[in-house]
Amino acid sequence: MFFLPFAFIFLILFIIFLPILFLLGYLHIIVVGFERLGISPESTLLILFLILIGSSINIPLTKKKLVSVREPRFFGLFSVPKIEAQYLAINLGGAIIPTLLSFYFLFLVQSQGFELRPIFITIVLMTIISKLLSRVIPGKGIVLPAFIPPLFSAVFALIFAPQFAASTAFISGVLGTLIGADLLNLRKIRSYGGYLSIGGAGVFDGIFLVGIVSALLSGI
């Protein structure tokens, strides 16, 4: 009878700290995986921190243009005027940092004497997939299901470059998504108005998951 309260308290504490345990396990997988890809644990934690913080930082590439648009209300029965900023930006955490990492992995693969053609093939395939499956939604921007980049990049990497699948999955997942989902939809998004952040909210989740899957592949 005296041990029941302690068991109950232990159960409550376990439930409370369960998300922390999952987080620590996730960080361990990422750190070990990226260490096998040639990045030290300290650098990996710094990169993850910069990506997460950088996801909220959009660097403008064009001048902001304020335009007057009409926003539909009440199921489109009437609309109200609205001032909207139109410009092109690039996301620090979703585009700049992952792209720099991709070129670093390209350098490592080439320095080890592997051909880069399989990687370029997977980039092209990921670009096509991202272009076909991405959608431009007025008022929200470009939307791509988060599972698309990690799933297809991993499959293509295992098929075309099994000897360095992890690096290939990361490179093709990042570059293919940014090119196919964002860059190839620039004209369409501008026709709808608003602004586009390359590597921003619409594709950031998928690009972030690419890093996780790449770390897992490094253990295969």
Q: Taking a C-beta distance cutoff of 8 angstroms, is the pair 171, 115 a contact?
A: no
Burial of 75 (0-12, 13-18, 19+ CB in 10 A): exposed
pLDDT at 213: 81
CA of 169: how far to CAs of 16, 30, 112, 137, in Å? 35, 14, 17, 27
How many C-beta atoms surround the C-beta of residue 26 within 10 A? 13
Which residue is it, tokens 């586009």? 196
Structural domain of 71: 4-217
* Helical pair 4-36 and 41-54, crossing angle rounded to 10 deg: 100
Local confidence band at 12 (pLDDT 50, 70, 90 cut-offs): low
pLDDT tens per residue, range 105-150: 999 888 888 889 999 999 999 999 999 999 887 656 788 888 899 8
| SS3 state of residue 155 | helix
pLDDT tens per residue, range 162-218: 888 888 999 999 999 999 999 998 887 776 666 778 888 788 888 888 887 887 787
pLDDT at 63: 76
Q: What is the pTM of this model?
A: 0.79
Domain count, the chain: 1
